[in-house]
Amino acid sequence: MRHPLPKAELHLHIEGTLEPELAFALAERNGIDLPYAGPDELRAAYAFTDLQSFLDLYYQLTAVLLTEQDFADLADAYLARAAEQGVRHAEIFFDPQAHTARGVDIGTVIRGLSGALEHSRERYGLSTGLILSFLRDLPAEDALKTLADAGPYLDRISAVGLDSAEVGHPPAKFAEVYAAARDAGLRLVAHAGEEGPPEYITEALDVLGVERIDHGIRCLEDPALVTRLAAEQIPLTVCPFSNVRLRCVDRLEDHPLPQMLAAGLLVTVNSDDPSYFGGYVEDNFQGLHRALGLTDSQLERLARNSFLASFVDDARRGELLAELDAAAAAPGVSAS
Ligand code: HPA
Ligand code: ZN
């Protein structure tokens, strides 16, 4: 196998990196009983019919995360895997409400995660950001309270996001909390157009004012929206393995990513919840090459887009793009 291309990962839920082995290790450390005989039996349960069937298991397993050390261990395990996959910068979602609802203090979550991220640059050469994500199937008031509770830690947070069950929970529900996040100096992103309709993408842009759309694949149902997204170069953080595992797309061979590239959309490729969906970000790149015949130059375009769409400062962006240029020029460096 050749070396992976340097890239940024912009759509990654840290809770979705919990590998079954770590879940069992943390369960034992915390005296928690998981309703599975072991990691293999747990892995066998990873057969999803839609987003909700995945979320049920994803939230169930968060029960093993209790202490600052648990969150730090989770993040460090991801960073080690990501570095092997060519990730040079990661913007990482976390779901505080999945933890505060179980009685875990938001400070415990943020201190644990950010403690691990602090060492990422020196340990793995990997720069990072944290995205505080609101659960859209909970009331907007809960999101406002979550943002307020995160107040003492906002210097460790780069953006807010919106995830969980999409259909029936349109972006406009969160207009007030997004305005408050913007006033607090945070960048704005939202999941839209994964299971939800193209209108949710437009609403996320026009009502919430987001700068990136997470997923967004259903934009293809609305040609005028595709034209707009291409003209404004709104980044879309697409997650091919996730789309297949959650049955938004039948097979990787049917994934619309080539169509999205051809339409001039600023597409990036990401792993979403890699422990649950069969692979990390480089595995997604390789899958696209194998299943859809994406060429080296298309894969380079995706890697370049990931740096263009990231929230790094101009100096870091320049460094990352130069690294990609060097890798792309070197023989034998590719995702294939
Ligand atoms: N979609 C919505 N919510 C999520 C996801 C996702 O893919 N992963 C974790 N929470
Ligand atoms: Zn996601």
Name the band, by pLDDT with cuts 50, 70 and 90, for residue 331. Answer: confident
SS3 category, 94: strand
pLDDT tens-place string over residues 277-327: 999 999 999 999 999 999 999 999 999 999 999 999 999 999 999 999 999
Annotated catalytic residue within 19, 194, 282, 300: 194
pLDDT tens-place string over residues 94-110: 999 999 999 999 999 99
Q: Write down the pTM of the prediction.
A: 0.97
Exposure of 199 by Cβ count < 10 A (0-12 exposed, 13-18 middle, 19+ buried)?
A: middle
CB 309 within 8 A of CB 90: no
**Nearest protein Cα to ligand 1, atom 3:** 164
Alpha helices in the chain (DSSP H): 20-30, 39-44, 51-61, 68-84, 96-100, 106-118, 120-124, 140-149, 175-183, 198-203, 223-231, 240-245, 257-262, 274-277, 281-292, 296-308, 314-329
Ligand 1 pocket member 242 (CB < 6 A)? yes
Q: Is residue 334 scored above 60 in pLDDT?
A: no
Which H helix or E strand runs over 130?
strand 127-135
- In ligand 1, the atom with minimum distance to the C-alpha of 164 is 3
Indicate whether 59 belongs to any domain: yes
Confirm whether 194 is a catalytic residue.
yes
Q: Say how far apart CA 23 and CA 74 lie, in whole Å.
A: 9
Indicate whether 334 belongs to any domain: no
Copy the structure tokens of residue 263: 């339409």
CA of 163 to the centre of ligand 1 (A): 5
CB 58 within 8 A of CB 94: no
Indicate whether 240 belongs to any domain: yes
What is the pLDDT, as a whole number, of residue 335?
A: 46
CA of 134 to the centre of ligand 1 (A): 11
CA of 173 to the centre of ligand 1 (A): 18
Indicate which CATH number applies to the domain containing 163.
Answer: 3.20.20.140
Copy the structure tokens of residue 20: 């079954």
pLDDT tens-place string over residues 159-193: 999 999 999 999 999 999 999 999 999 999 999 99
Ligand 1 pocket member 273 (CB < 6 A)? yes
- In ligand 1, the atom with minimum distance to the C-alpha of 194 is 1
Indicate whether 213 belongs to any domain: yes
Ligand 1 pocket member 272 (CB < 6 A)? yes
Indicate whether 332 belongs to any domain: no
- In ligand 1, the atom with minimum distance to the C-alpha of 15 is 9
Q: Say how far apart CA 131 and CA 253 lie, in whole Å.
A: 31
pLDDT tens-place string over residues 21-75: 999 999 999 999 999 999 999 999 999 999 999 999 999 999 999 999 999 999 9
What is the pLDDT, as a whole number, of residue 3?
A: 84
CB 173 within 8 A of CB 196: no
What is the pLDDT, as a whole number, of residue 336?
A: 45
**Residue 11 CB partners (closer than 8 Å, separation 6+):** 93, 214, 215, 237, 238, 239, 268, 270, 271, 272
Q: Is residue 2 scored above 90 in pLDDT?
A: no
* Dihedral class, residue 187 (left if φ above 0, else alpha if ψ from -120 to 50, else beta): beta
Ligand 1 pocket member 169 (CB < 6 A)? no
Q: Is residue 89 scored above 50 in pLDDT?
A: yes
Ligand 1 pocket member 164 (CB < 6 A)? yes
CA atoms within 13 A on the CB side of 168: 6
What is the pLDDT, as a whole number, of residue 179?
A: 99
Q: Is residue 5 scored above 80 in pLDDT?
A: yes
Edge-to-edge, what's the strand order for the sheet holding 7-13? 7-13, 87-94, 127-135, 159-163, 187-192, 212-215, 235-238, 266-269
pLDDT tens-place string over residues 207-256: 999 999 999 999 999 999 999 999 999 999 999 999 999 999 999 999 99
Ligand 1 pocket member 70 (CB < 6 A)? no
Q: What is the DSSP string of 60-86?
A: HHGGG--SHHHHHHHHHHHHHHHHHTT
- In ligand 1, the atom with minimum distance to the C-alpha of 246 is 7
pLDDT tens-place string over residues 122-143: 999 999 999 999 999 999 999 9
Name the band, by pLDDT with cuts 50, 70 and 90, for residue 17. Answer: very high
Name the band, by pLDDT with cuts 50, 70 and 90, for residue 332. Answer: low
CB 202 within 8 A of CB 226: no
Q: CA torsion sign, 99 to 272 to 304 to 221?
A: negative
What is the pLDDT, as a whole number, of residue 149?
A: 98
Q: Tell me the residue range of the domain where 161 lies.
A: 7-310
Structural domains counted in the chain: 1
Name the band, by pLDDT with cuts 50, 70 and 90, for residue 156. Answer: very high
What is the pLDDT, as a whole number, of residue 234?
A: 98
Q: Say how far apart CA 143 and CA 199 lie, in whole Å.
A: 22
CA of 205 to the centre of ligand 1 (A): 19
Indicate whether 318 belongs to any domain: no
**Nearest protein Cα to ligand 1, atom 7:** 272
Q: Say how far apart CA 112 and CA 89 lie, in whole Å.
A: 19
Indicate whether 328 belongs to any domain: no
Distance of CA 180 to the CA centre of its chain: 22
Indicate whether 319 belongs to any domain: no
Residue 283 has a CB neighbour count (10 Å cut-off) of 18
Copy the structure tokens of residue 257: 């990513």
CA of 336 to the centre of ligand 1 (A): 28
What is the pLDDT, as a whole number, of residue 333?
A: 56
